[in-house]
Amino acid sequence: MPSVVDWGRVEYVAALDRMRALVAARRRGAIDDTLIFVEHPPVVTIGIEGDDGAAERSGLPVVRVERGGKSTYHGPGQLVGYPIVDLGARHRDVRRFVHELEGVIIASLRPFGVRGEHVSGRRGVWVDGERKIASIGIAVDHWVTFHGFALNVDVDLTAFASFHPCGFDGNVMTSLRAELGRPVGIDEVRPVVQREWVRVFATPLAAPPAVA
């Protein structure tokens, strides 16, 4: 059974150090697959695909990290999830893992009446194919995943306007609050995401078909 831990609100760099320590523990077999829930004070992170320079000019703290993707924002009112998962038990299929992670978010939005979608060629979860409600960027170390997803629950969307999140104009970003037209608490959303996470990742993948 995969574990779930909630770190509350933690500075990004401190959380990054703790996350990397758990990756090492998972590689040793000292812990099971684990999903970390966390919120961060305002920060922009830049993945391995880089940024056009707008993030550095945003006035927000900037941290460069080893995850996939470009730049994104983290801040209060955003539910961040860091899955520490051994892909050795999941056929070392990174693309499928990302698709499943998007699926967890899509399923978690349904109880709130929001229809999230996969969009071909665009990582993350989208609403009506036009508004991005969750960003996803992962890294893999010896087939153990880290970094993860950021679901906009009741986050300040104006922060995205100060740079180009994931290479898009900032107005592409949306949140549960924006979609529903009412305040939404992290505490409303976290247990739903946890339930969907366990549903998807508690079940081992079937063996891949034999090659003829």
Q: How many CA atoms lie within 13 A of 143 on its CB side?
A: 10
Q: What local confidence, expressed as pLDDT, does residue 2 receive?
A: 80
Q: What local confidence, expressed as pLDDT, does residue 120 receive?
A: 87
Average pLDDT score over residue span 180-189: 97
CATH of domain 3-201: 3.30.930.10
User: Which residues are annotated as catalytic?
Assistant: 166
Q: What local confidence, expressed as pLDDT, does residue 1 receive?
A: 65
The string of pLDDT tens digits covering residues 43-71 is 999 999 998 888 888 899 999 999 999 99
Q: How many CA atoms lie within 13 A of 188 on its CB side?
A: 15
